[in-house]
Amino acid sequence: MKVFRAREEALPSEERGATFTGKVWADPVMAATDGVGINNVFFSPGARTFWHQHEVGQVLNVVAGKGWVCKEGETPREIRTGDVVWIGPGERHWHGAAEGSYMIHMATSIGQTTWAEEVSQADYNKR
C-alpha cells in the first residue's frame, strides 16, 4: 500500500505536445505502478488529446472547467466539473477542453496506451 499526497513529488509537471493539440500540462499524481498511471491534466481552451486507446481502460474525473470526450464513431459528449467518465478497454477516443473553457481532469490510465493521429478540427467540431 502507498499513500499519495496530491501528486508525485519526485516528478515535475510537464508540458505535453507530441500527442496533444494545443497547450496541455500534466501533473503526475502517481507514476506508472503495476500498469496504472494517474495524472492531473490541464487543457487550455480547445486543447485536446490525439486519438488513442488504453489496453485495460481509463477513468477521467473532471475537477474543473468543461470539455468534450468522444468515442470513435459517436458524437462528442460534453463533460464538466464533477463528471466521471469510464472508457473501456480498446475504445478509440479523444478528450479535451471546450473552446471557451479550460478543463482539468484526473486521468487514471490502466494498461498500455496506444496513440494514433491528431483529432481533426472537423472531428472536434462534430457536436
Q: pLDDT grade, residue 8 (50/70/90)?
A: low
Q: Where are the domains of the chain?
A: 21-124
Q: pLDDT grade, residue 10 (50/70/90)?
A: confident
The CATH superfamily assigned to 21-124 is: Jelly Rolls (2.60.120.10)
Q: What is the mean pLDDT of the chain?
A: 94
Mean pLDDT, range 57-70, rounded to an integer: 98
* DSSP one-letter string for the chain: -----SS-TTS--EEE-TTEES-EEEEEEEEEETTEEEEEEEE-TT-EEPSEEESSEEEEEEEEEEEEEEETTS--EEEETT-EEEE-TT--EEEEE-TT--EEEEEEEES-EEE-PPPPHHHHT--
Would you say 93 and 70 are in contact if contact means Cβ atoms under 8 Å apart? Answer: yes
Grid cell listed for 62: 473532471
Q: List the single range of 8-12, 72-76, 87-91 with lowest mean pLDDT.
A: 8-12
* CB atoms closer than 10 angstroms to residue 54: 22
